[in-house]
Amino acid sequence: YDALSYAWESDKGTTIIQVDGHHLQVTRNLAHALRRLRRPGVARTLWVDAICINQSDNEEKSRQVGMMKNIYESASFVLIWLGPEPD
């Protein structure tokens, strides 16, 4: 898997994306990153905190945050997303 590190930028609003048939609300910056990192026709496994961690479960978030060092170290690649290029 590849792990994605990105700026949450929650002040810029959210949008709905579809992941494995489920609708999720994510920041616009994450939606931009996912569209940009998509590989049409090629399967890709991404670990993204906002998607892989249940954000409404504080206990799970606490456990997962404690594991993030290992998650990033174990990833094949760590991708960094700062945001879309300005026009």
Q: For the chain, which residues score pLDDT lower than 50?
A: none
Q: Which two tokens stand for residue 2?
A: 């590849």
Mean pLDDT, the chain, whole residue set? 90
Look up the pTM and report it: 0.82
* The total number of structural domains that make up the chain: 1
**Alpha-carbon torsion 40, 69, 21, 28, what sign?**
negative
Q: Which domain holds residue 62?
A: 2-81
pLDDT of residue 15: 92
Q: What is the pLDDT of residue 46?
A: 94
pLDDT value, residue 5: 93
Residue 15 lies in a domain: yes
Task: Please check whether residue 87 lies inside any domain of the structure.
Answer: no
Residue 10 is predicted with a pLDDT of 64
53 DSSP 8-state letter: S
